[in-house]
Amino acid sequence: MFGINKLFKKNNSDRTRLYEVLDAYKSGVFPLGIEREWVVNYTQDNGVISLALQIPFAVKSVNSCLTDYLTKELGQSVKLTIDVKLPDVHKYKKVKHILLVASGKGGVGKSTTAAFLAQALSAEGGRVGVLDADIYGPSIPTIFGVQDAKPTSKDNKTLNPIIKDAVSIQSIGFLVPAENATVWRGPMASQALNQLLNETEWGELDYLIVDMPPGTGDIQLTMTQKVPASGALIVTTPQDLALADAQKGIAMFNQVNLPILGLIENMSHFLCGHCGEKNHIFGQHGGADLASRHGVPLIAEVPLDINIRETSEQGENILTASTEQVANYVACAQLVGSILHYQTQSTSTVDIVITDD
């Protein structure tokens, strides 16, 4: 009995130390440290710690750096597994978060950002869908390389999304030939968008990314007033003209009380292929200044890069591109997922639980 009690006390002490180390871990996606309830399994065997975490947002690739940190701080080998499981609280049908990716004007890379963000969120462990809300100029089918795909239906009432890279996709581009112009008035376009959203069998999704059309018209009002979105992400370039229009987009979301999760500055700079120097072709600090003015985070400063253009035009996954660009979009996905989680936590009741640990 004495040996068992001694072992129990040792394990309890080790677990307490583990919690202290996890609590102290800080990164962009874990500003408050690792929460104790995320630890779902903890064992020690021959000096090796086996640790399983269940984290409520898409952040699987943090495994490597967190393992290195724990190994260093605990002085023991650590085998870490991370599972992503969001709380079963659905915003819409079986969708847990709806995120609107918007811009004030076209040509800033909004659709590319929405597609690559979706791919990164999926790679980070989330179940992800993309709704192309740009009825007049759908780009999502081309960016995913599925422009020739046609949706199917099980019951002739609802459509199955197109699946590419584990991402569920729906767009008017699958239903209207690319060579045809969509000449519809605002109410008709809004009705078409409602049907795409409501009559698609999305299934269980953690994140539904909505690629919004540019501007502040009927479709924007439809999505903000009739859909329980979790927040909006604003995409801009550093140019004064783009920033002025992005400002209008921010003002619109503020008027309808939709949280703005952050701002992405696209084509932020160009890295010279010879000397590596940053060239600010479209201006400098515009995105940072706009984000600061409205009290929202600047999520990323994505450079002007030929890999992004080629990847989007060829319908490839951004995770197959250069290391720097992969890191940009993965970091963006992690931050967006964590912001959605902490935003949800901040609006709910906090329970204080005292344990023996």
pLDDT in tens, 154-174: 888 899 999 999 999 999 989
Query: pLDDT of 295-305, one tens digit each?
Result: 889 999 888 88
Kindly report the backbone phi and psi dihedral angles of residue 110, in degrees, each rounded to the nearest multiple of 5, phi listed first.
Answer: -65, -50
Q: Could you tell me where the DSSP H helices lie in 75-169?
A: 110-123, 140-143
Q: 184-212 pLDDT, tens per residue?
A: 677 788 888 889 999 999 999 999 999 99
Q: What is the CATH number of domain 95-346?
A: 3.40.50.300
Cite the annotated binding site for ATP by residue number. Answer: 104-111
Residues annotated within the binding site are 104-111
What count of Cα atoms within 13 Å lies in the side-chain half-sphere of residue 99? Answer: 33
Domain residues of the chain, as ranges?
Answer: 4-84, 95-346
Query: What is the H or E stretch that residue 304 is in?
Result: none
Cα–Cα distance, 215 to 212 (Å, whole number): 9
Distance of CA 277 to the CA centre of its chain: 29
Alpha helices in the chain (DSSP H): 2-24, 63-74, 110-123, 140-143, 186-198, 218-226, 240-255, 286-294, 306-313, 323-346
4-84: CATH class: alpha beta
- Distance separating the N- and C-terminal Cα atoms of the chain: 22
What's residue 112's pLDDT? 93
H or E stretch at 167: strand 167-171
Rg of the chain, C-alpha, whole Å: 22
